[in-house]
Amino acid sequence: MSVSSATTEVVDPVPGAAAPHLPEQPDLVQLLTPEGERVEHPDYSIDVSAEELRDLYRDLVLVRRWDVEATALQRQGELGIWASLLGQEAAQIGAGRALQDGDVAFPTYREHGVAWTRGVDPLHVISLFRGVDNGGWDPVATAFNLYTVVIGAQCLHATGYAMGLQRDGAEHAALAFLGDGATSQGEVNEAMIWAASFSAPVVFFCQNNQYAISVPLERQTRVPLYQRAAGFGFPGVRVDGNDVLAVLAVTRAALAAAREGQGPTFIEAFTYRMGAHTTSDDPTRYRLASELEEWKLRDPIARVKAHLSRSGVADAAFFDSVEAEADELAKRIRTGTVEMPDPPGTAMFDQVYAEQTPPLAAQQAQFEAYQASFEGSEH
């Protein structure tokens, strides 16, 4: 794909991308620099069309807009809590777009970008954080499991599912998401032991956003996280988590290896949590503003926009159209959230078991009687 420089239109290049104070990143797989320049890697390559590049940019922008709108809704009392993905869009979109039909994703509670790539309606995620339900999407139809709040538990689920795929003879894979803090959890280590022992077709995708809530990475590990995989007996790779092309290439390769029977891979997506851990967190208490400003120079969306404009495959009209679409998405999310009906109190009994048990039926009857006792009362 070559474009004459005479037709290249530079649109809003990355501000300050060449700043000399930008801290050096560790060795990692990178295909798109913070300045938006394409580079090659000896072990990973990717061939994407101009249309695919534009689609990836659209994904990144729309998911960020969803996230920003949800944060605003929480601040206005419409959501109980929100776990922001701000800054981690490339890691999630790249990994999500690497999945094929038949593969299944096992998220934490922050993988809104992966949910987007699996066709999950944002409002079905919002309803969970509004307390309306436990997740409004069908995990079977979307191949995207329900959010897991218990730290690390989804890695066990993914490994068990992958072992099931293995026994069924299915040429598919499971993709387990986790954060850097979860690597200190027993469940994650147990999952990796089992995955290694049985060569399960599972990929562990760790978004290292530098902080486990307020605990920095250096408090949790003495070696880079991806190197831990060697101790379990399978490959580990570190990728620039703010580079959507590199994440896509690395995750595709790891999933392909899993499907081919080569066993698990551990991917460390080296990224940064630009916002708070959740809306209940205050990151100014444990990190410096200068650190955040430095990481803004590696913004995952800005580098794709710079590359698109400099390579001449997108112009101002395209960027304006994506922004307009983002505005419409934000409007739909806000309206849908505010108008979301509260469920009846008895709804909590509906999906505890596939078939209601006598003890559960008795509990529901007791609850209904208690609720009815308030009818006609002023209290």
Active site positions, annotated: 273, 277, 286
Q: Determine phi and psi for 177, rounding to 5 degrees.
A: -100, 145
- Bridge partners (DSSP) of residue 38 are 32
Whole-angstrom distance, CA of residue 188 vs CA of residue 202: 13
Q: What is the DSSP letter of 290?
A: H
Residue carrying structure tokens 């990481």? 295
Q: How many CB atoms lie within 10 A of CB 306?
A: 24
Q: Is 83 helix (H, G, I), strand (E, B) or coil?
A: coil
Closest CA to 136 of 160, 153, 115: 115
Q: Determine phi and psi for 269, rounding to 5 degrees.
A: -90, 105
Query: Side-chain half-sphere of 189: how many Cα atoms within 13 Å?
Result: 8
Whole-angstrom distance, CA of residue 104 vs CA of residue 67: 23
Closest CA to 313 of 59, 61, 56: 56
Beta strands in the chain (DSSP E): 104-106, 174-179, 202-208, 211-212, 215-216, 236-240, 265-270
How far apart, in Å, are the Cα atoms of 69 and each of 92, 341, 366? 18, 19, 40
Side chain identity at residue 110, one-letter code: R
Side chain identity at residue 284, one-letter code: T
